[in-house]
Structure 1
Amino acid sequence: MAAGGIELVSQGTGYGIIIGLGALFAILILVSVRIQKRYLLEDSERSEMFMVANRTIGTGLTASAVFSSWMWINESMYSTVFAYSWGIAAPVWFASGLSFQIALMAVLGIVAKLRVPYAHTSMEFVRVRYGRFGHGTFIFLNLINNVFGCSAMVITAAQLVTGITGMHIAAATVLIPAGVVVYTAVGGLKATFLTDFLHTAIALSIMIYLTLAVLTNEHVGGLGGLYDKLRATESLVNVEGNYMGSLLTFKSYKAAIFGVVLKVCNLALVTMDTAFWQKSFASDVRSTVPGYDLASVAIIAVPWGIGTVIGLSARAIEHTPVFVTYPEVMTAAEINSGLVMPYVLKSLVGSSACVAILVMIFMDITSTVSSSLIAVSSIVSFDFYKTYINKNATDRQILRVSHTGVVVYGLVIAGWTLALNYAGANGNWILYFLPVTTSPGIFPVIFTLVWSRQTKLAAIISPLVGLVAGVSVWIGLSYSMFGAVTIATTSEQMPALYGSLTSLFTPALLSVIISLIKPQRFDWREFLRIDLIEDKSEHSSAVASSRESQVAQDEKKITSETSAADISPEAGLDGLRTRRSSDLVHPFDEATLRHVRRWLKIAIGFLVVNCLVTIIVWPLPLYRDYIFGKTFFKSWVAVSVLWQFFAFCAVVVYPLFDGRHAIGKGVRGIWLDLQKRVQGKKE
């Protein structure tokens, strides 16, 4: 029996899906790793392949992996909760925040290609710039972000699985990440890219099916029927903070506040998570910007489409006999646990749709967890082990530590998530808790890569002060405004908003002030000291020879025209060019550097356009005393559904086309091997 005593699907079905899919993906990754190694010469037993996939990921797979990483369980499930709670504006604010984050990461990713072309984690360039104390500070902030962010996804998924199946919360918490730990430890980052593609294809297919199944159901009645039913319930529904209390107005105060929290403050889940940096490190220099920007457009489909249709459909049928809780409405606990979508689908489609939700939950959560596992294991192996324990570690030693890190971190996540569960946390609380605790490092880490004047003292002090200040404001306002500090009071919007803004902007202001008091300037060439990992036990490795060949080519291309201005910090990105006599030679030739700089301009231009469209041009004109008319509403929802099909083409169909040569090579290799086996048996 699930939440509220409502049976959605059986426990056995829940266990079968979670354990079965985990085992299936582990087997698929084992097979794909063998195929990569045998036919594509991609060996996941090397650190470069395990951590950054040899930096060869194409545009299609990059877009698919980025899309999958941003397709959090909170996004697909809680967009329906917020649409139910605040109306038609909430899914758009959700989509806007996600799109903006990816567009920003495209800019940071291409800057990283220019300044730290061989980085493996974001902590590497922090260490080069700020030394041990700065390195330790940012590792602490990064681990806070990864542990809290990953556990937030797991706790949401576990509570949903428990609510749908009645499975014990401890079992769900442990089993959900278990299969991911296995295939991530075996396959590394390239494996997560491949599974990201499979996750995306399956989850998007299910999402489109569920959206259309609800919209075309006789109890909803299509676009026009949904609108009519929403208007008919206006006497029963009065949304506080909405114009005339309507679900069909974009003038929603609480939805707008949520949009601010998500867009501005949750940037930490991107910039402070080395997993997202690793995806940009792993992509080919020609694929970073187009891959990220394509994903930033496609991601709008997820919260906008499914959130609008299913969230509003819940309101349309909640007071009718078809709804599973009738004659009662959903309780606050059921809503905060994300059960809006399961209840709607059980009411309209049946238990089979709830099974589809379980599959979608698994697809959404495993992508997030696998990226986080790789990120943290890379920090453990690279930023701890190789930096402070065994400076002369070989490739294989680093890889062993990475594998161990994946397993240990998986256990930590399971344990921490269980603690949050038993403390009474839920997905709604997590959404407001995260930005308060993870935002302090955003500006300092961005300044590390783009502002040469940020000093070591500023980088260390500002985020720590920001963390203390943000948490203090959050807790203090929760107590002063609501009289207590509990899960319920700290889940309120205003304390979380002010706490998040304090965490975000205090470090930015402090960093600038401290840096200007005693100014210094960083030489960007120092970042070029970060190099590829080479297995010292294998002097003839392809990685080593490839690196030496590339450096030799670059040295020939650099002419005597290179001046001091070319390497000065004032030269900006051009400062990456080096003199012939320097040991710090950029690994890219001049043609590649010009190409990457051109992509940087495109990325900045796209970010500006993205902000203008998603923050100003699209939502703000609608934030007025206006209730959607029937024709406008039908067009609005139709476009949101069509956007789902666009997303499917962009991150499922296109990656197959983009990777057709590698796929063909693998298929031909398998076919030839099979022919040899058959021929051998005949002989």
Structure 2
Amino acid sequence: MALPLINIGIVLLLGTVFIGVGWYFSRRSGGTDDFILGGGQLGIALGMTSLLAFWITGNTMLAAPESAYTYGILGALGYGMLGGAGVLLFALLSKRLHKVIPHGKSVGDFYGTRYDEKNYYVFVSLLVIYVLGLIVTQGIGGGVLLEQIFDIPYYLAVFLTFGIVIVYAYLGGFRSVTGVAYFQVLLILVVALVVPPLVYFNVGFGPVYERILADSPAKLSLTAPSGLLFATAGALLGIGEVFMDNTFWQRAYAIRSDVVAKTFGLSGIGWILVPLAIASLSFVALAFDQTPEQVNQVAPMIAQIYGGAFSGWLFLIAVWSALCSTTAASINALATLLMNDAVPRVKDDVSEDELLRYGKYFTLLVGVLGLLFSLPRILTMLQMLFFLGVINVAFVFPIVAGLWWEKANPQVVFVATTTATIVGYAAYFTIGANQGIILSGWISCVITYGGSYLWPKDFDWGKLQRVGQDVTAGGDGT
């Protein structure tokens, strides 16, 4: 099969624009603080675009329609809660962060100081697995999308996507990623506002509703047990993703403290509307018996069939922009976590220039690992998301308890997170994905709060206050 050179050229052209914008913003990136947080003075506008560009992922654009196609209207609503609930609740958490640990830079700063070394290493190890998994979902999404709409072979599509992202994430770290995100989120929002109405203008709302009501009425039910289970597990999963993901902690510190809660709140509301709009394309597929080769291809397929070539191209641009923005933000978040947390723990007296070099090395390492793990299509995007959810929800309650309750016991938290993860995966593989996530969350909650109530451990909040100012802070948490 001949390579579609024109289509490859279009992707490279758009990627060149991303790299150019990233290079422009990288010129203002001076040291490690800029590479990690971009200076820490983002306002509402740039803060929202940075959050939306990261959190409107390839999952949002491809797995949200997959959820609606699989679970019907509860799938669409459940996916909206999956991401929106976590960001809305993080608005409260972000305000608390600025008060409790005002000079922190990463989730590792908090977790390693609030608890202890064994908790820190368990947390970071599972966080690395989660972030790499999230990056892989974006790589798979990029490959599937360019293969579906642009006829670019899957492996080449993955290499193109990661190659472009790694370059501009390497150039300026957080500054480059945030600068490009402003451009990317505009593309994403335009498409979310244009493509679904264009498709429904061509097919009509009435025919879609009537055909689903006649042929698949269960898809319109608000009481379907499988849909309710998905919505419940999805909300827990989304909260866990947001609370655990260093990308959100980065942005909490990068946004000014006086507007951080408002920025997260508005971003959560704005985010919910995007998956709901895109997921509505799945109802057209259900109504007219359009079956995709892979279920996570349903949205681009419908955009192309019923919206025409223009709609298909717009959808491609939006989803690929979302994939790139999330991949870049995740690579930067994991690289800077390792740069800020891991390097000082294993190497004394690291200079700022040396630390910055480590940040760039980690950017290349994480990007290349994400590329390699994306090549085999092991799971769909939604399946990967729920597989990782067992990890995410195990840490929600320890994080909340650690921020607001001085009695949270590190020994109890260690038992809670390890037990929840092990039992959650046992249930995931023997009962079901949704049940595994819910069980992981409840076990973590009961052990964390019940155990700490029975065996309380006082914590000195001054340890968190000294993080970022005292070189000895951030280790024992005992």
**TM bucket normalised to smaller:** over 0.9
1:28 equivalenced with 2:13 (yes/no)? no
Secondary structure of the corresponding residue to residue 256 of structure 2: coil
Q: How far apart in 2 are the matches of 1:197 and 1:524?
A: 36
Question: Is the contact between residue 145 and residue 272 of structure 1 (CA under 8 Å) also seen in structure 2?
Answer: no
Note if 1:387 corresponds to 2:345.
Answer: yes
State whether structure 2 residue 237 is matched by structure 1 residue 227. no
Alignment deviations for residues 200-256 of structure 1 (CA, whole Å, 9 cap, x no partner):
101111222212321222xx1xxxx32134314644x225xx2xxxx4443443332
Q: In the alignment, is the contact (CA less than 8 A) between 2:56 and 2:322 conserved in 1?
A: yes
Structure 1, gaps ≥5 residues long: 2-8, 38-43, 319-328, 478-494, 535-583, 585-683
Work out whether residues 59 and 138 of structure 2, in 8 Å CA contact, stay in contact via their aligned partners in 1: yes
- The residue that corresponds to 1:450 in the other structure is 404
- Equivalent residue number for residue 408 of structure 1: 365
**Cα distance per residue 1:167-199 (max 9 Å; x no partner):** 332222222122111111112212222222111
AA paired with 1:450?
W
Match of 1:148 among 133, 144, 149: 133
* 1:375 paired residue number: 333
1:529 aligns with 2:461: no
| Other structure's SS at 1:54 match | coil
CA distance in 2, matches of 1:353, 1:442: 39
Of 505, 520, 532, the match for 2:457: 520
> Which is worse superposed, 185-194 or 47-56?
185-194
| Alpha-carbon displacement from aligned partner over 1:423-465 (angstroms, at most 9, x marks no partner) | x422232233121233222222222222211122123232112
CA apart distance, 1:277 = 0.6
Moved more, 183-192 or 103-112: 183-192
The yes-or-no answer on 1:330 pairing with 2:291 is: yes
Aligned match of 1:503 = 440
User: Judging changes above 3 Å, is the alpha-carbon distance between structure 1 residues 249 and 511 closer, same or farther for their aligned structure 2 residues?
Assistant: closer
| Structure richer in helix, relative to its length | 2
SS at match of 1:503: helix
Aligned pairs (5 A) from 1:270-419: 270-308=242-280, 310-318=281-289, 329-330=290-291, 334-336=293-295, 338-390=296-348, 392-419=349-376
Alignment partner of 2:190 out of 187, 190, 205: 205
Instruction: Report SS of the residue matched to 1:448.
Output: helix
Amino acid at match of 2:355: I
- Matched to 1:496, the amino acid is A
CA 1:134–1:89: 2 relative to 1, 3 Å? closer
Higher relative contact order (CA 8 A, sep 6+): 2
1:438 corresponds to: 392
Distance 1:458 1:137 in 2: 14
- Which residue, out of 455, 464, 482, partners 2:418? 464
- Shift of the 82–460 alpha-carbon distance from structure 1 to 2, 3 Å rule, reads closer
Deviations 1:65-120 (A, max 9, x none): 11222211121223333333443343223223322111111111111100111111
Matched, 1:175 2:129: no
| Residue-pair matches, total | 473
- Cα distance change, pair 476–284 in 1 and its aligned pair in 2 (3 A): same
Distance verdict in 2 for CA 1:381–1:163, change over 3 Å: same
The code of the aligned residue for 1:512 comes to Y
User: Which 10-residue stretch deviates more, 264-273 or 116-125?
Assistant: 264-273
1:45, 1:396 within 8 Å by CA — same for their partners in 2? no
Q: Deviations over 1:539-590 (max 9, x none)?
A: xxxxxxxxxxxxxxxxxxxxxxxxxxxxxxxxxxxxxxxxxxxxx9xxxxxx
Change (3 A) 1:379 1:248: closer
Question: Aligned match of 1:162 in 136, 147, 154?
Answer: 147
The letter of the residue matching 1:431 is: L
User: 1:229, 1:265 → 2: CA distance?
Assistant: 31
1:532 to partner: Cα distance: 5.7
Identity percentage over the alignment? Answer: 19
Q: 1:14 to 1:533 in 2, by over 3 A?
A: farther
Match of 1:216 in 2: 201
- 2:176 — aligned with what? 191
- Structure 1 residues 293 and 415, CA, compared in 2 at 3 Å: closer, same or farther? same
| Distance in 2 of aligned mates of 1:122 and 1:428 | 25
TM-score (norm 1): 0.65
Q: Which residue of 1 aligns with 2:476?
A: none
In the superposition, relative to structure 1, how do residues 475 and 232 fare at CA in structure 2: closer, same or farther (>3 Å)?
closer
Structure number with greater Rg is 1
SS at match of 1:45: coil
Give 5+ residue unaligned stretches, structure 2: 474-478
Map of 1:56-95 to 2, 5 A cutoff? 56-95=41-80
Partner of 1:476: 430
Aligned CA RMSD, in angstroms, stands at 2.4
Aligned twin of 2:107: 122
Whole-Å Cα distance in 1 between the matches of residues 470 and 182 of structure 2? 27
Are the counterparts in 2 of residues 47 and 533 from structure 1 also a CA contact under 8 Å? no
Q: Could you say what secondary structure the match of 1:267 adopts? A: helix
Structure-2 residue corresponding to 1:620: none
Q: Distance in 1 between matches of 2:339 and 2:134?
A: 21
CA distance in 1, matches of 2:287, 2:131: 38
Deviation at 1:335, TM superposition (A): 4.4
